[in-house]
Each structure stands twice: as C-alpha cells, then as structure tokens.
Structure 1
Amino acid sequence: MDVIFDRPLLARRRDRAARQVDAVAPVLRAAAELLLERLDDTTRRFEAALEIGGRGVVAPLLRGRGIASVVSLDLSPAMAARAGGAAVAGDEEFLPFAEGSFDLVVASLSLHGVNDLPGALVQIRRALRPDGLFLATLPGLGTLQGLREALAGAESELRGGVSPRVSPFPELRDLAGLLQRAGFALPVADRDALPLRYATPMGLVRDLRAAGETAALVARDRRMPPRALFPLAFSVMPLDLSLDILVMTGWSPHPSQQQPARPGSADTRLSDALGVPERRLPDNPG
C-alpha cells in the first residue's frame, strides 16, 4: 500500500481547524445536503447511523431526518465533539465498531485523506447491518485544479522544479469498482458539483485551513517556500472554482435485494424485444 498522506499531521490540522470550521460551514452543509438527498430515493428507514468526518454539520442533518442514534467519528477529538452527540475519536482505516453496528454510514467529504481506501470501505461494509446503506462524497479529480496549476507554474519558475502542494483526488471511474471489491451490493458512483467564487485567493486558503483541508502529504517539500511563491501563484489563479463532488452509494448485501440475472436465463430473445428479424452471422472465413 502506498502511503500518500501523513495521518498524524492530518489529525493535528483537523484539531486546529475545529476552532474555526464554522467559517466554512455553509459549503460543508451544502455538500452534505447534496449527499443526503439520496436518502429521499429509498423507503428504507434508518435507526442507527455512523457519520465519518462530518465536522459538526452532518450529524444534525441526520437527526433532523428522524434518525435517533447518530455516532460521529473523526481523527480529531475536538472535531468529533462538534457534532453534539455521541462522539468517537478514531481512524477511518481502523474503525472501532463491531460488525453490524449501524444501518447507515455517511462520509461527507472525509475519505480522500485515507491511505487505504479499499480497506476502509471493507471496514465500513462490515460495520453495516445487512441491507444497510453507505453514502459518501469525495472531492473529484479537477477540484482545486486552478490552485494546483498556479502553484506548480510559480514553483517551476522560481526553483526549476515542482513539489506536491495540493492533495491528489480520485477519478469517478474508479469508485464503483472499489465499492464492488469491498463487497457492497448495488454499487453506484456519480458526480455533482458546487460552484464557488472567491473575492481573493487568500479567501480560498482561509477556507481550506478552516476545513482542515490543507495538504498533508508525506512527499511534501519541507523546505521554506520561496517568499515570492504565493504572490506569483495567486496573480494567475482563477477565482471561479468548482468543488467537483464524487458520490458513492452501496448497500450491505441482503437476500431481499435485486440480484443480477444468471447468464443464459433470459426467456425472451433480443430480436423479439426489438421487433426485428434474427439473422445468422456469416462464418468467419479466416
């Protein structure tokens, strides 16, 4: 497993961010509401939910939907406590819950700093009861691209090389496969977006710090950045941004769920369904 993220550093940054996360609560709430709209598509009623990394925003929304028991987990004890209910300081890579503890798990913009995402998904699926639902959002490839390119261009000009300063984000095409590998039934991955506009580049930087989202990369450059780096990057950085949100949906397997048909089990010919005559393909001469 590649170790991309410095998890102790990420925990310390989230601890510091807990004191100022209210500054970015409107963005976090808008993203959470986009995710929780998926609950409107099911008649299933949930009694015990786990929310991961909700930063004090997700748990009240779940309780507002009538879910009586909501547990909040975060790397940071201070951030977990912001949820106002049962709080657990813990690691998404080592979930401290018994198998079948919850019938709903929600992770809103919180799994993109995990080193072993496939392993974390397996643990989440095990924490779900049969026919339990998993909902998650992650920032997608393209998020913060303007900042990434501005910093890379400025550093290349000043130092003749580039070091990673913005976290990598996943691609949509990978997520449904990850859900399936983790044992989820009916896996779905789709995309949404939140448009953002900042008056200044420093407004974006302040929001990233307030959310605990400054990069915590193992491969980060530990040298002091050149004094001219950020002014040069900010002079070309676009202020119209988009938070590209990837949505993951999966169910813990249960016999009542719709199953894929067995190969060869169809009782209607495709030609009949399409209303066209069936023709035999010519033999391959080669």
Structure 2
Amino acid sequence: MLTRSIRTTCSFTFGLPRRFYASVPTNSPTGSGGTAFQVFNREVKRRQKERAALDVEKSRVVDYLKDEIAARVADRLLDIKRKFNTVVDLGSGCGHIVKHVNQDMMKKLIMCDMSEAALRRDADLKYEVEVERKVVDEEHLPFEEDTLEAVVSSLSMHWVNDLPGALIQIRRALQPDGVFVGAMFGGDTLFELRTSLQLAEMERESGLSPHVSPMTNSNDISRLLTRCGFTMTTVDVDEIQVNYPSAFELMDDLRAMGENNAVLSRDTLMAASSIYKELHDWVEAFPGDSTT
C-alpha cells in the first residue's frame, strides 16, 4: 500500500482519495445490482455542480485538488501497455483528466457528467486528444454491453447512491480485458471538518446533521470490485493534505468545487472553526515538503 503526504503552508488538512483499477475477465458473468439505498439527492447534487461551474473563475481557482488526482489517474493508464482508441471519463466535471492525457495514450476521450454546465465550462480549450461531451448520470449508463475499451473516473463516484450497481454497469459496458481506473474520496477524508462540525452542532443546536458524506475504505472497495466481476484488482491509498487557515475557507472551496453537502448556519460554522483550531491546529506546515 502506497501512502503519499503533501504538506503546504497553512493548517487545515483535506482529503484521502482512494485510487483503484481493475480489468474485466474474458467470460465475466453479468451479475445484477440490488435496490439502491438513497443516501444522496442526485438532483440537488446536479444543481450544486451547475452553480459551481457557472462561476467560471472561482471554480477554476479550486480545480487544484481534482486536477492533482486526475493526473494520478491518467498516470495509471500509462501502466497499461497499449494505446486506446476511445476512453470514457465518468463524472468528468469540467475536464480534469483530459488535461493529463495525450495521443500516445488514446485517440479520443468521452467526457460524461450529469452537469452540462460543468461539461461546457472549458469547451473552448484545446486538448491533445479528441474530446466528446455527453450528459450522463453515473447511476444510469447509456453504453451497450462489451463496447468500451477503458473507463476512468476521478472524484465522482463518492456521490453515487448505488456504487455496486454503478460498478456492475461499468463492467458490463467494458469489452473483455477492458480496464477501469478510478479514484474516490474515502476513509478519513475531511476527518477534521467532520469532528469539528459534530461537536459544534451538539453545542449550538443539540443535534447532528450529516454535513460530511459517508466514505468507503480500501478494503470495502477491493471486495466490491471483486464482487462486481472485476479481476486483477489493485487498490492504492493516497493521503493528500491541503491546508486552510480555517473552516470558513475550506467550506468556501467545497462549495466552489460543487462538493458541498448540507447548509450550515454561520453560528455553527464559527463554533466549528473555533473547535477545529483547538483540536487540530497542532499540525505543522512544511512548505514544499513531500514524503513517500
């Protein structure tokens, strides 16, 4: 298991992405997904992504995290010693993976996202590969069985209600020996924010709300990929620390990324920020330091 830690100059830690990839066996059974448990309101999430993408300049400022993880996903494609004709990018957002691919890796990338505004935000930019854009919900894929060479997904599937069902749909759409490479938030992502919000709400509102989404862990993902019919599965854990001066700046960036969940009152957020400084502000910052 590979763990990387990147530290910057402020004091708020963000992120624990899970990166994984798998291939489809030649004669894989199709399987079927069960009834999805509705954790997320997908229409609300679509509107949040639309609003974020329509604020073009601000959303570009906060692309840094998704761009970094997308670069790592694209790098994983280089481990596969073949050139793809067409690759599908599920939950592409504004185009984070396409920034990091070239003609040596693929001829064409199909960007799929449920937010049309996100898909079109950077439509005027030129890339090294041909790009096609499709409005697609990750929970309801439009692709025929055995038609895709490769599917990638970066920081999108943590908003999917029926993750097993989505993975089964991906596996069905892949050709025999097709490849899936994905990354999603998991484990202790936003642990500091989660604990601070919980304590603040208990103090100010005498109750708790799920402001940080439930996360999977690496063992869950590994078992789930196998259960969904993938073979030769590999799961990495990358820990990335992005530091913020307070919870206010973090929450503002989450909204600009379209990654926000429930709305917080200012009183609760101020309490959470104070609690964070008390509990988690001991982390020292080392500019430019990166350890493997």
Aligned match for 1:110, one of 131, 156, 170? 156
Say if 1:54 and 1:83, in contact at 8 Å, map to a contact too. no
Aligned match for 2:275, one of 229, 232, 236? 236
Aligned match for 2:190, one of 129, 133, 144? 144
CA displacement, residues 103-129 of structure 1 (integer Å, 9 cap, x when unaligned)? 111100110000000000011111211
The answer to whether residue 48 in structure 2 is matched with residue 13 in structure 1 is: yes
2:106 match: 67
Residue 27 of structure 1 deviates from its aligned partner by 1.5
Match of 2:214, SS? coil
Say if 1:59 and 1:83, in contact at 8 Å, map to a contact too. no
**Considering only aligned residues, what root-mean-square deviation do their CA atoms show, in Å?**
1.9
Q: 1:45 to 1:120 in 2, by over 3 A?
A: same
Match of 2:106, SS? coil
Say if 1:53 and 1:80, in contact at 8 Å, map to a contact too. no
- Runs of 5+ consecutive residues of structure 1 not aligned to the other structure: 242-286
The correspondence of residues 68-107 of structure 1 with structure 2, limited to 5 A, is 68-82=107-121, 84=123, 85-107=131-153
Alpha-carbon separation, structure 2, partners of 1:193 and 1:31: 11
CA displacement, residues 169-225 of structure 1 (integer Å, 9 cap, x when unaligned)? 11111011111111111112221122211133222112111111001xxxx6xxx85
**TM-score, normalization by structure 1:** 0.76
Aligned match for 1:47, one of 52, 73, 85? 85
Q: Greater CA deviation, 155-164 or 18-27? A: 18-27
Say if 1:60 and 1:83, in contact at 8 Å, map to a contact too. no
Residue 82 of structure 1 deviates from its aligned partner by 3.8
1:173 match: 219
Alpha-carbon separation, structure 1, partners of 2:252 and 2:267: 19
The residue type equivalent to 2:274 in the other structure is: S
Aligned-residue sequence identity (percent) comes to: 36
The residue type equivalent to 1:197 in the other structure is: N
Say if 2:82 and 2:105, in contact at 8 Å, map to a contact too. no
Higher relative contact order (CA 8 A, sep 6+): 2
| Higher Rg | 1
Alpha-carbon separation, structure 2, partners of 1:64 and 1:236: 49
Which of structure 1's runs of 4+ aligned residues deviate more than 4 A? 224-227
Aligned match for 1:156, one of 196, 202, 210? 202
Say if 2:78 and 2:105, in contact at 8 Å, map to a contact too. no
Aligned residues: 234
Alpha-carbon separation, structure 2, partners of 1:193 and 1:34: 12
The residue type equivalent to 2:187 in the other structure is: L
The answer to whether residue 37 in structure 2 is matched with residue 37 in structure 1 is: no
Residue 22 of structure 1 deviates from its aligned partner by 0.7
Say if 1:154 and 1:233, in contact at 8 Å, map to a contact too. yes
- Runs of 5+ consecutive residues of structure 2 not aligned to the other structure: 1-35, 124-130, 285-292
Residue 21 of structure 1 deviates from its aligned partner by 2.2
The residue type equivalent to 1:35 in the other structure is: V
